[in-house]
Amino acid sequence: MKKITVVGTGYVGLVTGTCLAENGNEVCCVDINKKIVEQLQNGKLTIYEPGLDALFQKNMRDNRLSFTTDLTQGTKGAEIIFLALPTPSSADGSADLTYIFQVADQLATLLVHDQATIIVNKSTVPVGTADLVKKIISSKFHGKFAVVSNPEFLREGFAVEDFMKPERVVIGASIDWAKEVMSELYQPFVRQGNPIIFMDERSSELTKYVSNAFLATKISFMNETALLCEKLGANVDQVRIGIGSDTRIGNRFLFPGIGYGGSCFPKDVKALIYTAQQNNYDFKILSAVEQVNQIQHAVIINKILDYFQGRIQGKKIAVWGLAFKPNTDDIREAPALYIIKRLKELGASISVYDPVAMENTKKIIGNEDIEYASTMYQPLKSAVALVVATEWSEFRNPDFGKIKSLLVEPLIFDGRNLWELQAMKKRGFIYHSVGRPNGN
């Protein structure tokens, strides 16, 4: 059992805290947001994440998991302090480290001499951040402590599974006693033999950025391939299967769509471009990845405008899906929001449905010109078209007869390629998707 503090109780912090408690540790999660802490203290989750509630309830009940807004109280006796704080994009694309440095400064006055403490950076941070955190703390505290980089690779929607059984754990550490403690902490999570990879702090920090940048590159590459398929009359689904069977390429993350979103890829690609620039290196591929992603966000809008010859003023359009991907209520940088904003600017009225992300969306874009429907079929009534923006599984096998009867005409713009072209043709839909010939 280790006594652990997790500072920042958002998507990463809450999952980290809960999963560490599940493996027998005593965990206190600290957040400055009173509302979040109160809700969690009252036994109600603040995010939607499959499998999290059961672990959260169990560990709260067994007193291994607690929440506070008070950093002093939350760090009392802690052997390991995780930082799971936001690192958003600054205006110039760099990662904003204000939250990290503020907490590091507070910790410098809270660490105690009779306890060796490891500060673990779980936030995605630029190369050199561990050194800076070390410097901030050692300017005021002269006891035994170490700063370790431990980037998080969980996927929202699979966060519990990914944390409990990670494909790998990366730890950037140069001090032996800290390496030993981190190794002990993670052993229960890698019993099936997945590796704990130790490296220096800088390489560990860079590993996280390169990992996300590579995945974003895969997405943009397939999105460009899809656009080329449309011009050539080829079908990207077939091309995808054709290339994915080559093990050097692999068959995952090859699905084209409406551009990547979420709280990580957009900001992490920007931050890596910035880091490269600051070091006199032009990371050309990444600039293209970003540019392609911007273009891809507009793909569905352009298809709609083409179909209606630019005239969508006053027309009702139904949108299925708001979350940036299925199985999460996270709407940060969600492509659906871009589509909705643009359709509103073009004068359309919007009716939306998402199984879990509607409350978060209301907080961001409000109710004006948007109807939030309580079932997936409700938005379709009298709409001229359905737009699919998130591939929730309940959208995969809908009542097509009902869809047809509710829409003004059987017109679908599918940004996620949910359905087979031939089947949609048979069902009588005018079906536009991404990188595949249009069905009429």
Q: Which residue is nearest to ligand NAD (CB)?
A: 10
Is 154 a residue that touches ligand NAD (CB under 6 A)?
Answer: yes
Q: Are 155 and 326 in contact (CB under 8 A)?
A: no
Query: Does residue 439 sit in helix, strand or coil?
Result: strand
Q: Binder to ligand NAD among 22, 26, 31, 49 (CB under 6 A)? A: 31
Task: Tell me whether residue 204 or residue 263 sits nearer to ligand NAD (CB atom).
Answer: 263
Q: Binder to ligand NAD among 3, 32, 116, 194 (CB under 6 A)? A: 32
Q: Are 252 and 246 in contact (CB under 8 A)?
A: no
Minimum CB separation from ligand NAD for residue 328, in Å? 8
Is 376 a residue that touches ligand NAD (CB under 6 A)?
Answer: no
Beta strand spans in 8-137 (E): 26-30, 65-68, 80-83, 117-121
Minimum CB separation from ligand NAD for residue 222, in Å? 21
Beta strand spans in 182-259 (E): 196-199
C-alpha 204/C-alpha 183 separation (Å) is: 15
Q: Are 378 and 350 in contact (CB under 8 A)?
A: no
Is 201 a residue that touches ligand NAD (CB under 6 A)?
Answer: no
The structure tokens listed for 82 are 């995780």
Is 123 a residue that touches ligand NAD (CB under 6 A)?
Answer: yes
Task: Tell me whether residue 35 or residue 248 sits nearer to ligand NAD (CB atom).
Answer: 35
Query: Does residue 43 sit in helix, strand or coil?
Result: coil
Q: Which stretch binds ligand NAD (CB under 6 A): 30-38, 172-180, 278-286, 308-316?
A: 30-38
Minimum CB separation from ligand NAD for residue 119, in Å? 13
Task: Tell me whether residue 216 or residue 301 sits nearer to ligand NAD (CB atom).
Answer: 216
Q: Binder to ligand NAD among 13, 17, 157, 259 (CB under 6 A)? A: 13
Number of residues that bind ligand NAD (CB under 6 A): 26
Q: Are 56 and 17 in contact (CB under 8 A)?
A: no
Instruction: State yes or no: is 264 an active-site residue.
Output: yes
Q: Which stretch binds ligand NAD (CB under 6 A): 83-91, 296-304, 306-314, 333-341?
A: 83-91
Task: Tell me whether residue 84 or residue 376 sits nearer to ligand NAD (CB atom).
Answer: 84
Q: Which residues pair with 117 in a beta bridge?
A: 145
Sequence-distant (6+) residues with CB within 8 A of 407 are: 318, 380, 383, 384, 385, 386
Task: Tell me whether residue 99 or residue 221 sits nearer to ligand NAD (CB atom).
Answer: 99
Task: Tell me whether residue 5 or residue 417 sits nearer to ligand NAD (CB atom).
Answer: 5
Minimum CB separation from ligand NAD for residue 198, in Å? 19
59-89 in b/e form (b: 16+ CB < 10 A) is bbeeebbbbbbebeebbeebbbbbbbbbbeb
Minimum CB separation from ligand NAD for residue 203, in Å? 17
Phi, psi of 400 (to 5 degrees): -65, -35
Q: Are 304 and 387 in contact (CB under 8 A)?
A: yes
| Residue numbers annotated as active site | 264
Would you tell me which residues interact with ligand NAD (CB under 6 A)? 7-13, 30-33, 36, 84-87, 99, 102-103, 123-124, 152, 154, 156, 263-264
